[in-house]
Structure 1
Amino acid sequence: FRRMRAGEFPEGARVLRAKIDMASGNINMRDPVLYRILHAAHPRTGEDWCIYPTYDFAHGQSDAIEGVTHSLCTLEFEDHRPLYDWLIERLPVPMVPRQYEFSRLNLSHTVLSKRRLTQLVEEGRVDGWDDPRMPTICGLRRRGVPPEAIRDFVGLLAISKTSDNLVEQAMLDHAVRERLNKSAPRRFGVLRPLTLTIQIYPEGEGEVFDALNNPEDPAAGTRQVRFGRTLYVEADDFMEDPPRKYFRLAPGREVRLRYGYLVTCREAVKDASGAVTELRCTYDPETRGGQAPDGRKVRGALHWVSAEDSVEAEVRLFGSLFTKPIPGADGGEMWDDLNPESRTVLSGCRLEPGLADATPGGTVQFERQGYFCPDPVSTPARPVFNRTVGLRDSWARQQSREARKG
């Protein structure tokens, strides 16, 4: 061993082993290797050493030296525990730690293995470790997931010793929504803009409305949003021939513009390809704030932004990294299950003007859309937002139920 330490042997020529029991039913107890030769520079000690301990030899000693009482490991270390205990009993350590095993966290539609994550990065299948689709701390941070939501999510889980447990991605999304619902300020953002013109609204004039910053937090106060003759609404909020239980804009239908007026669609203008490019509407000037003096009720309430002062932005929508809950579980390559639609980039989105100055790290709710945060590349001249998590969409759920019935 002294000659190994002195560097007299090449790599692989000698090892130091513990003499235990070559007939043991546990392969880890069959005279395991404790030290091996490695002629390589160490990040901290340089070339002072050319022999290095194995993980099993160092594990228990490190725990004892650092004062670890309960060494928590994943299930693959269960067969290593007898060696852990054997070494602790025979080495001059300052205390006696104990090893306990539990099942690792398996999250659906992604991978948590460091080896697999490294492959994703090195093979260029994602845009680095902080890609918002990655389940890494820096990836979650870039996507706008607050650390409190991660702790909430872990707190919802039970400790298990079964190796086949799988936690649905939806549980993490739920924890994120619950946390952000209480803290995120509300703003208007139109992702797929459709021009809405109020024909009888005076040209060149405008007004402002007070809008709540967060209905869950009265102390958050209000902000002012500008209203005018020409607005942008979501293209998905209009249908020419709406089905039953669709309460958004349609020809002849009246809806409420959040904090604004009741408007009625009178005409849909189309381009040469037949796509709707503009909605021409009327409004009821007696319904300022969204309430009708005659007490009539409307079912739809839409968000909007002013065409005059809204800012253009890029918005990135992220979905699951893989299409299958357990990538590669069908026997094929894990990469076969990569989701080609895991990222959608929308350009030409229109946002409230104040969002141009939003800084990374602050997540906001685009009303009726979801939670979004500025990307590190975002600037006031070119705002870029990443979707953290979407809201639950009642119309989408209705469509899904009807599709299942069909």
Structure 2
Amino acid sequence: MRISEPSVRRSDFIRTIIDEDLKAGKYGGRVHTRFPPEPNGYLHIGHAKSIYLNFGIAKDYPGALCNLRFDDTNPTKEEMEYVEAIIEDVRWLGFDWEDRLFYASDYFERLYEYAETLVINGKAYVCDLTPEEIREYRGTLTEPGRNSPYRERSVEENLDLFRRMRNGDFLDGSRTLRARIDMGSPNLNMRDPVIYRILRFRHHRTGDSWCIYPMYDFTHCLSDSIEGITHSLCTLEFEDHRPLYDWFLDQLKVHHPQQIEFARLNLSYTVMSKRVLLNLVRQGFVAGWDDPRMPTICGFRRRGYPPGAIRAFCDRIGVAKRESIVDMALLEYSAREYLNQASPRVMAVLRPLKVVIENYPEEKIEQLEAVNNPEDPSMGTRRIPFCKELYIERDDFREDPPKKFYRLAPGREVRLRYAYLVKCTKVVRDPAGEEIVEVHCRYDPESRGGNAPDGRKVKATLHWVSALHAEDAEVRLYDRLFSVENPAAAARGNGDFKSLLNPDSLRVLKGCKLEPGVAGAAPESRYQFERLGYFCADKDSTATHPVFNRTVTLKDTWAKIEKAASVFEQKTGGEKPKSSGAVGEITIEDFSKLDLRAGLVVEASLVEGADKLVCLKVDLGEGRLRRIFAGIRRAYPDPASLKGKTVVIVANLKPRKMKFGVSEGMVLSGSGDDGMSVLTFDGVQSPGDKVS
């Protein structure tokens, strides 16, 4: 099935700059970008944003190009394993660099020649200070640096020393080549930065050909120039490096791309630091770079995220100039939206409870027709077996059902999906009398398909699997890796990420039951397990031992009701507060008329022609997005910062017709001396969750 993706070209500040450059005829009307990872680790979801941006711009403009280039100038941390993994990840995401795969190491000779040119022009010198002394001489943000005592060496001496550095005449770390710029510059990056260092370490591509290696700032801008890049897109941490980027290109009088910075992607409940991720892998807190809890692209792939869902997520969050944290719920929303259209439905029981249908013929087996995907009729139907003994979810039965529990219970009738109406007649316990091991029911033979001929209604439909035909499987229930929304901030100071790990980030269920035919699914096959969520066959899966990973959940209304009730009991003892009757107060009954819901902001934009309004498109778990106009423009001049936030929505406010369209709710906000801000959640909330 082909899933539709955004066809309208996105508008953002980077594309606005490019549009203006094209109008001015800059770069001869060319647009050429690049994605330049360093091969020192696996790509994560933050890189996916940069990949989507760079390749997306090349797609948006006729004749535009995008290169894939590895900035491989630090052989101590770089490996071919990472090169190969990055190539596979970018391809899997759906992007193609054609014949434009490059490496900075391709340019080592040319970069050396550029460095000699700087030396000859008096713009670089060989320095004998140790790394510690260089830091000491550098100064601070409030104090200027001091000139190196070797800064005034002659061109001839510098050229001789630099060539001897290349020839291997000196020990590692004993000398560096530094740019001669300004040790008093307020920008620390401009205080005579190191261009080359001596480092004897075998390079994954050039072997032992070089014992000196160029630094990133020197290599990056010149690699862009060599490749004819027009717009060099970097994250905001490189904004202070832009003057140095420009200085090198101006001094060497070569093609000069324009560096443009954008906000990097920060995702809640995880970290993007390669150093931290590497430690998690090496210390065994996760099962490798592709562990489905990891924020790596290969981790999301193994978990079951389709590449189209990640592209849709990147399109939704857009490009901003201000750093913010995007709620993981927005990525999960993108996955659900995509998988809902693309995934075949099957039935699986994760915590099985046997059901015996007393009045069903002992040897009878029926083949019932089931829809593969109600969103896509072209996916057709399948046949599933039905017999006397079945499995249902243990959570779908209560011997003593509480209020609003409509599933199976003694004396209660429910519908079995695609099958019959059944009524519970008795329960069977284990010999100790503690655990229920079987539920006995009677079925209505006239209700095949789930509808009774007399028109009687039932309030619940349960999924099931034939006990005779069920296939056993292992199911891994993955959750968020960290227990706090912003682990980087929480660990600031002590750097202790281990204490922030979510102890329930993985639960492994054995003996789960699948409908026949699913167990042989190839790795990365994706399904919706009806009423449970979206699942993907893991690479560990075999025909005799199928393994499925949960990608994202579906909403379980009853579980949320129970959780809310538990919280209410703890806080109030189960007693509703009484109104004092004071003037201006409202009763709890008045307040209960408000339907407050958690809403995930999927899109946020300014409203043309309105000075105060922002247009939000919000997911309330209804299968569609609500449009809400909010008077918060003064607080959010760049509404993109709201994308991915979970906010509080008055869901039952009467829709209001406005000049700009119909507003279908109200977003709650607060204001004080520091200004206005929208109310957001600290914890994990799903779209549509009740707020009270």
TM-score (norm 1): 0.97
Q: Which residue of 1 aligns with 2:678?
A: none
In 2: Cα distance, 1:152 partner to 1:370 partner: 20
Q: Is residue 282 of structure 2 the alignment partner of residue 122 of structure 1?
A: yes
Q: Which residue of 2 aligns with 1:52?
A: 213
Contact 2:291 2:302 in 1 (8 A): yes
Q: Indicate the SS of the match to 2:325.
A: coil
Pairwise mapping of residues 27-42 of structure 1 onto structure 2 (< 5 A)? Answer: 27-42=188-203
Q: What is the letter of the counterpart of residue 397 of structure 2?
A: F
Deviations 1:141-188, CA, capped at 9 Å, x for gaps: 11111000000111110322223x111111111100000000100001
Q: Indicate the SS of the match to 1:353.
A: coil
Deviations 1:345-371, CA, capped at 9 Å, x for gaps: 101111011012111121011100111
In 2: Cα distance, 1:389 partner to 1:103 partner: 27
Q: Is residue 374 of structure 2 the alignment partner of residue 211 of structure 1?
A: no
Pairwise mapping of residues 279-294 of structure 1 onto structure 2 (< 5 A)? Answer: 279-294=439-454
Contact 2:348 2:515 in 1 (8 A): yes
Q: Indicate the SS of the match to 1:76.
A: helix
Shift of 1:403: 4.0
In 1: Cα distance, 2:359 partner to 2:422 partner: 11
Higher-RCO chain (CA-CA 8 Å, sequence separation at least 6): 1
Q: Indicate the SS of the match to 2:267.
A: coil
Contact 1:184 1:364 in 2 (8 A): yes
In 2: Cα distance, 1:116 partner to 1:104 partner: 17
Shift of 1:244: 1.6
Pairwise mapping of residues 139-218 of structure 1 onto structure 2 (< 5 A)? Answer: 139-163=299-323, 165-218=324-377
Q: Which residue of 2 aligns with 1:224?
A: 383
In 2: Cα distance, 1:350 partner to 1:296 partner: 31
Compare 376-385 and 326-335 and name the one that shifted more: 326-335
Deviations 1:257-284, CA, capped at 9 Å, x for gaps: 0010000011111111511110010111
Deviations 1:44-94, CA, capped at 9 Å, x for gaps: 22222111111111111011112222211122111111100111111142x
Q: Pick one of 217, 228, 240 that aligns with 1:67.
A: 228
Shift of 1:397: 2.9
Q: What is the letter of the counterpart of residue 196 of structure 1?
A: V
Q: What is the letter of the counterpart of residue 473 of structure 2?
A: A
In 2: Cα distance, 1:259 partner to 1:55 partner: 61
Q: Which residue of 1 aligns with 2:479?
A: 319
Q: Indicate the SS of the match to 1:80.
A: helix
Q: Which residue of 1 aligns with 2:458?
A: 298
Q: Which residue of 1 aligns with 2:625?
A: none
Q: Indicate the SS of the match to 2:489.
A: coil
Q: Is residue 223 of structure 2 the alignment partner of residue 90 of structure 1?
A: no
Contact 1:328 1:336 in 2 (8 A): no
Q: Which residue of 1 aligns with 2:512?
A: 349
In 1: Cα distance, 2:320 partner to 2:284 partner: 34
Q: What is the letter of the counterpart of residue 510 of structure 2?
A: S
Q: Which residue of 2 aligns with 1:101?
A: 261
In 2: Cα distance, 1:285 partner to 1:365 partner: 29
In 1: Cα distance, 2:489 partner to 2:202 partner: 40
Deviations 1:173-219, CA, capped at 9 Å, x for gaps: 11000000001000010000100000011111121110000000001
TM-score (norm 2): 0.57
Q: Pick one of 547, 558, 570 that aligns with 1:395.
A: 558
Q: Indicate the SS of the match to 2:238.
A: helix
Q: What is the letter of the counterpart of residue 186 of structure 2?
A: G
Q: What is the letter of the counterpart of residue 131 of structure 1?
A: D
Contact 2:341 2:376 in 1 (8 A): yes
In 2: Cα distance, 1:70 partner to 1:122 partner: 37
In 2: Cα distance, 1:172 partner to 1:404 partner: 28
Compare 55-64 and 387-396 and name the one that shifted more: 387-396
Unaligned runs of 5+ residues in structure 1 are none
Q: Pick one of 181, 189, 193 that aligns with 1:20.
A: 181
Contact 1:328 1:335 in 2 (8 A): no
Pairwise mapping of residues 252-267 of structure 1 onto structure 2 (< 5 A)? Answer: 252-267=411-426
Q: Indicate the SS of the match to 1:81.
A: helix
In 2: Cα distance, 1:378 partner to 1:47 partner: 42
Pairwise mapping of residues 358-397 of structure 1 onto structure 2 (< 5 A)? Answer: 358-397=521-560
Q: Indicate the SS of the match to 1:325.
A: coil
Q: Which residue of 2 aligns with 1:338?
A: 501
In 2: Cα distance, 1:381 partner to 1:61 partner: 54
Contact 2:390 2:467 in 1 (8 A): yes
Aligned CA RMSD, in angstroms, stands at 1.3
Q: Indicate the SS of the match to 1:79.
A: helix
Shift of 1:228: 0.7
In 2: Cα distance, 1:397 partner to 1:40 partner: 56
Deviations 1:85-105, CA, capped at 9 Å, x for gaps: 111111142x21111112211
Q: What is the letter of the counterpart of residue 451 of structure 2?
A: Q
Q: What is the letter of the counterpart of residue 198 of structure 1?
A: I
In 2: Cα distance, 1:40 partner to 1:226 partner: 63
C-alpha distance 49-330 of structure 1, shift in aligned 2 (>3 A): closer
In 2: Cα distance, 1:334 partner to 1:69 partner: 39
In 2: Cα distance, 1:218 partner to 1:351 partner: 23
Contact 1:150 1:176 in 2 (8 A): yes
Q: What is the letter of the counterpart of residue 37 of structure 1?
A: I
In 2: Cα distance, 1:151 partner to 1:142 partner: 16
Shift of 1:330: 3.5
Q: Indicate the SS of the match to 1:358.
A: coil
Q: Indicate the SS of the match to 1:357.
A: coil
Q: Which residue of 2 aligns with 1:76?
A: 237
Deviations 1:292-315, CA, capped at 9 Å, x for gaps: 111111010000010111111111
Q: Is residue 489 of structure 2 the alignment partner of residue 329 of structure 1?
A: yes
Q: What is the letter of the counterpart of residue 114 of structure 1?
A: K
Shift of 1:404: 4.8
Q: Indicate the SS of the match to 2:326.
A: coil
Q: Pick one of 208, 216, 234 that aligns with 2:393.
A: 234
In 2: Cα distance, 1:340 partner to 1:137 partner: 23
Sequence identity percentage? 58
Compare 206-215 and 395-404 and name the one that shifted more: 395-404
Contact 1:328 1:337 in 2 (8 A): no
Q: Is residue 410 of structure 2 the alignment partner of residue 247 of structure 1?
A: no
Q: Is residue 438 of structure 2 the alignment partner of residue 278 of structure 1?
A: yes
Compare 366-375 and 326-335 and name the one that shifted more: 326-335
In 2: Cα distance, 1:403 partner to 1:106 partner: 33
Q: What is the letter of the counterpart of residue 104 of structure 1?
A: R
Q: What is the letter of the counterpart of residue 184 of structure 1?
A: S
Deviations 1:115-166, CA, capped at 9 Å, x for gaps: 1111110111100011111111111111111000000111110322223x11
